[in-house]
Amino acid sequence: MQAKRREFLGLGLAAGASLALPVWAQGKPLFENLNMFVPAAPGGGWDGTARAIERAAKAAGLVGNMPFENVAGAGGMVGLPRYVNQRKGKGDNLMVGGSVMVGAAIANKSPVTMKNVTPIARLTEEAGVVAVPASGSIKTWKELEAALKANPRGVPVAGGSAGGTDHVLLGLIIQALGRNPREAAYVAFSGGGQANAALLGGQVTAGISGYSEFEEHISAGRLIPLAVSGNKRIPGVNLPTLSELGVPVTAANWRGVFAPPAISNEQRDALVTFMTRLHASEAWKKELETRKWTDVFLTAPAFDKQLAEDIRATEAVMKDLGLA
C-alpha cells in the first residue's frame, strides 16, 4: 500500500469448503449456539455486519442461536482485550472486526492487537463516502474542498474511531489538497449511530462512513453524498469517486470475523466451514446486494497472510500521516 492508496485484492478462497461436519449430514445446524462479539456500539458497520451474518446463517439453517455482546470504545480496543481474555480457547465464538481495528490498535498503542486473535474469514469491502447534512452551508464537493484547503482545522469531520479507515481517509484527502494531514479536525465516534447523530445535528461539517450506514439518511434527503473513496463508483449509485473529482486518493474498509486465541485446529476448521457455507448461501448473497457490500471473501490460512500485510502497510501510512 502506498501513502495515497489503501485497497485490498478481492481474492476468493474456498478453504474448508469441502470439510463436511457430521451434524450437517444429519440436517442439523453446524452450531446450535454460536456467540457473536461486536467490539462496537449497536448501529454501526460491525454491528450491521454481525446482524447480517445472523440473518443469513439462520435463513440457511447453519446456526440455532446466536447470542450477541456489544462492547464499544476506542475502535474496538476496549472490547478486544475482553474478547481475547474471556473467550480464549472457546471454539463457539466469533468476533466481527476489520481494517479499523488495525489502525486503532496502532493509534492507541494497545498491548492487545489483531495479532492476538485467530483470523477466520474476510467478508466484505466497502469504500468510504463523504457526506454533508442537507441543512448545512456546504452542499457540494467543491465547497467542501475549498473549505479544507483554506483551513482544515475549521472543518470538523465525523467518522469512526481514531486511527481507523475514516480517519486515515480524511488525512489522505487533506494531504492530497496540499495541506498537512495533522491539521485534520477529525471527530471520532465509537458507533455509526453516534456519528450520524452528530452529522445530522449540525455538530460537524461533514462525515465519512460506508454507504450502507448513510443510505437511509441519503434516501430521506437528510444527507448529501459528495464522493466515494473506491476505485470505481458504487453500482446503482450516481456518486463520483474522489479520483474523478481530481483527488488522487482511494481507500476501502474491509470487515471479517475472528475467533479467540488458543482454539484447536478442529475448532478453527469448523468455523471456516461455517463461514464458507454462509458465503455460498443465497441469503448472504442477498445481504451483499442489499447493502452494496463488495464481496472479498477470503478464509484462513490465506487471510492470516493478508492481515499481517495489512498491519504492516497501515502502520507505514499512519506514521506518514502523523497518526501513529
Nearest to 159 by CA among 113, 201, 198: 198
- Residue 159: which residues within 8 A CB-CB, separation 6 or more? 166, 167, 169, 170, 186, 187, 188, 189, 195, 207, 208, 209
Q: How high is the mean pLDDT of the chain?
A: 89
Sign of the torsion angle spanned by Cα atoms 136, 137, 139, 142: negative
**Cell representation of residue 154:** 475549521
Nearest to 259 by CA among 33, 110, 67, 96: 96
Give me the mean pLDDT over the 148-153 stretch: 97
pLDDT at 3 over 70: no
Predicted confidence band at 191 (pLDDT cuts at 50, 70, 90)? Answer: low
pLDDT at 70 over 90: yes
pLDDT at 7 over 90: no
pLDDT at 27: 67
**Cell representation of residue 258:** 475472528
Largest CA distance in the chain: 66
| pLDDT tens for each residue of 220-279 | 999 999 999 988 898 889 999 999 999 999 888 899 999 999 999 999 999 999 999 999
Sign of the torsion angle spanned by Cα atoms 288, 291, 295, 300: negative
**What domains are there in the chain, each with its CATH number?**
22-125+252-320 (3.40.190.150), 127-228 (3.40.190.10)
DSSP helix/strand/coil, 308? helix
